[in-house]
Amino acid sequence: MAAKKSSFDLDQFLATRTEAVNAALDKFLPSEKTKPATIHKAMRYSLFAGGKRMRPAVLLAAAAACGGTEAAAMPLACAVECIHTYSLIHDDLPAMDNDDFRRGKPTNHKVFGDGIAVLAGDALLTQAFEIAAQAKGWPRYSHKDLILEIAQASGSLQLVAGQVADLEGEGKKLSVAELRYIHERKTSALLCCSVRLGGMSANCTPAQLAALTDFGYHVGLAFQVIDDILDVTQTSEQLGKTAGKDVAVQKATYPAIVGLEKSRKIATQLTDKAFAALDIFKGKAVALEALAEFLLKRDK
Amino acid sequence: MAAKKSSFDLDQFLATRTEAVNAALDKFLPSEKTKPATIHKAMRYSLFAGGKRMRPAVLLAAAAACGGTEAAAMPLACAVECIHTYSLIHDDLPAMDNDDFRRGKPTNHKVFGDGIAVLAGDALLTQAFEIAAQAKGWPRYSHKDLILEIAQASGSLQLVAGQVADLEGEGKKLSVAELRYIHERKTSALLCCSVRLGGMSANCTPAQLAALTDFGYHVGLAFQVIDDILDVTQTSEQLGKTAGKDVAVQKATYPAIVGLEKSRKIATQLTDKAFAALDIFKGKAVALEALAEFLLKRDK
């Protein structure tokens, strides 16, 4: 592991991929001047608010692990980022988590008002499918497969289900199983979908897809456990969003249920399982390995 | 025209098609008991609130005009109804039109709360693409074409644009051109998309698709002009939603800008243009013709 890691420059990978994803998103989205300007300003405000582009990054890294090209993976990378951004805009609404800050900037509804924020989310969700439809289909993975993959990960059984369970769980004492149900849907589903889409964009083998699914599931869960930990241990300035929010609204989190130390252990175990899933790539998944390690050690 | 109409039983067409669409939607949507139950109850509450299923009806009628089957058209008919229902749920939110009643029943957010109503809309929008992806692709119209058709009609340049312009136009004095911009996007876009998808599901010729586009555009505009007229002339009981709402919030409408009589004339002219577009079908588009006449003469 150490040897593989030292030979891979993750900072450069992330910097170049973020730049490429931003350029592609800029091309896919209507300009700020396109009528009605308000909605395109609102969509772009949140889409270009400095997000870490982790979902596109794992998607592009998975494509690379399977010998795919960035060109084939890019529309799908942009689509998942649109889905992620839409879900953040709607989650931040007063009717949901009621957050004033995101990525260090006022949330969409604080700038554009609740009505436009709802519509900006709607438009980004719709845009995701418009962009995904422009991806290249493959013999193994047709447009039908790609669209179903995104729709199922984002729908009422996954991403939306996670947000519903999260809303309904506020102020209640949840079990670890119930909390995992939320995390699997709220975070792991779209991250796992991103990793799988990366493989699909490279026309990967069924065995590779199974390995990527295993990897994505565990990294996604680890990612959310760490989010919970950071909410307790970091300041709002460090996070760029309101810290301590989970405790304030009595949201169930890993640290609240099992304590901070055990939460850290769980995150490490999940990441180990994710690493193990990559064995099949025999060292070709260096970017995915580096990303998983980065996600575990991040401090914001 | 009169001869064609007498030979076609529209009531029976609408009754059988509504039943078939409802049965198909019931199959596509997760049951009310599927976890998380709240979201599936909320989605189904609005989806089965007694809507007129006009978009599925024109879609199925267009498919029939092009010699297609109901089986091939049905997933697309269900997809556009999901899009329509999502847009109503979000439009009714306090942050938008703030409506308490829809189709004679309390609106989604009045029953389930604002947060779940936002999510139910999100889930139905996502579900639309999941369902559409399950339609049969054709040599002329691939899954890519079908998904793009729906995404573009529903996105920030069409359906969402109409709602944004509508929101921004409240209390302002709009020109007829500005009002038409709103109507084209808020109503005509999805109706036109529905008619086109019907043709696509029947692998129609490019000439047929052009005729259907022309038809759908004009029927869509006529539909919205009539909606404006009914808001002024009918009671809330007759409409099953709050009448006089447009006047109350000083919303720009055709009756407000050009008066009731000229509005009726415009609706008739638009419908005539729609009829003319169907000439190419040489009498095979009886269901579409009957639907257009029905839409013009409706009183709710």
Determine the pLDDT at residue A161. 98
Could you tell me which of A233, A129, A253 has the C-alpha nearest to residue A179?
A253
pLDDT in tens, B231-247: 888 776 776 767 677 76
A125-150 mean pLDDT: 96
How far apart CA A190 and CA A94 sit, in angstroms, is: 24
User: Within a domain: residue A236?
Assistant: yes
Q: Tokens for B243?
A: 């009448």
Total domains in chain A come to 1
User: Within a domain: residue A300?
Assistant: no
pLDDT at A264 over 60: yes
Determine the pLDDT at residue B296. 74
How far apart CA A81 and CA A69 sit, in angstroms, is: 18
Q: Tell me whether residues B151 and A137 touch, CB distance under 8 A.
A: no
Weakest mean pLDDT among A25-29, A241-245, B289-293? A241-245
pLDDT at A3 over 70: no
DSSP code per residue over B37-68? HHHHHHHHHHHTS----HHHHHHHHHHHHTT-
Per-window interface: B 143-172 vs A, CB < 8 A: 143-144, 147-148, 150-152, 154-157, 160-161, 163-165, 167-168
Determine the pLDDT at residue B239. 66
Determine the pLDDT at residue A103. 82
Q: How much is the CA Rg of chain B, to the nearest whole Å? A: 18
Pairs across A and B, CB distance < 8 A: 154
B79 touches chain A (CB under 8 A): no
Helical spans, DSSP H, in chain A: 2-6, 10-28, 37-47, 54-65, 70-91, 108-112, 114-132, 143-154, 159-169, 176-183, 189-201, 206-233, 236-239, 245-248, 254-258, 260-277, 286-297
pLDDT at A2 over 60: no
Q: How confident is the model at residue A239 (pLDDT cuts 50, 70, 90)?
A: low
pLDDT at B300 over 80: no
User: Within a domain: residue A21?
Assistant: yes
B200-205 mean pLDDT: 98
B30 touches chain A (CB under 8 A): yes
- Give the CA distances from residue A226 to residues A152, B208, B237, in Å, rounded to whole numbers and listed in that order: 25, 56, 54
B5-28 mean pLDDT: 92
pLDDT at B1 over 80: no
Average per-residue pLDDT in chain A? 92
How much is the ipTM here? 0.94
Determine the pLDDT at residue B241. 67
A95-106 mean pLDDT: 92
User: Within a domain: residue A299?
Assistant: no
Q: Tell me whether residues A155 and B118 touch, CB distance under 8 A.
A: no
Range of the domain at A113: 2-294
pLDDT at A130 over 50: yes
Determine the pLDDT at residue B4. 46
Determine the pLDDT at residue B2. 40
For an interface test with B, the pick among A87, A97, A130, A200 (most B C-beta atoms closer than 10 Å) comes out as: A130
pLDDT in tens, B62-113: 999 999 999 999 999 999 999 999 999 999 999 999 999 998 899 999 999 9
Q: How confident is the model at residue A241 (pLDDT cuts 50, 70, 90)?
A: low
Determine the pLDDT at residue B252. 79
Question: Which of B36, B143, B161 has its CB closest to that of A144?
Answer: B143
For an interface test with B, the pick among A164, A178, A186, A193 (most B C-beta atoms closer than 10 Å) comes out as: A164
Q: Tell me whether residues A126 and B151 touch, CB distance under 8 A.
A: yes
Q: Tell me whether residues B133 and A156 touch, CB distance under 8 A.
A: no
pLDDT at B170 over 90: no
pLDDT in tens, A46-82: 999 998 899 999 999 999 999 999 999 999 999 999 9
pLDDT at B194 over 50: yes
**Gap from A28 CA to chain B (nearest CA, Å):** 12
Q: Which residue of A has its CA nearest to B92?
A: A115
How far apart CA B104 and CA A261 sit, in angstroms, is: 55
How far apart CA B196 and CA B213 sit, in angstroms, is: 6
How far apart CA B164 and CA B182 sit, in angstroms, is: 9
What CATH number did the domain enclosing B81 receive?
1.10.600.10
Q: Tokens for B297?
A: 């003469």
Determine the pLDDT at residue A5. 46
Higher pLDDT, B7 or B275: B275
pLDDT at B176 over 50: yes
Determine the pLDDT at residue B62. 98
A33-57 mean pLDDT: 96
Q: Tell me whether residues A161 and B36 touch, CB distance under 8 A.
A: yes
For an interface test with B, the pick among A46, A98, A124, A160 (most B C-beta atoms closer than 10 Å) comes out as: A160
pLDDT at A9 over 90: yes
Average per-residue pLDDT in chain B? 92
A182 touches chain B (CB under 8 A): no
Determine the pLDDT at residue B298. 80
B253 touches chain A (CB under 8 A): no
Determine the pLDDT at residue A235. 73
Higher pLDDT, B161 or A295: B161
Determine the pLDDT at residue B16. 97
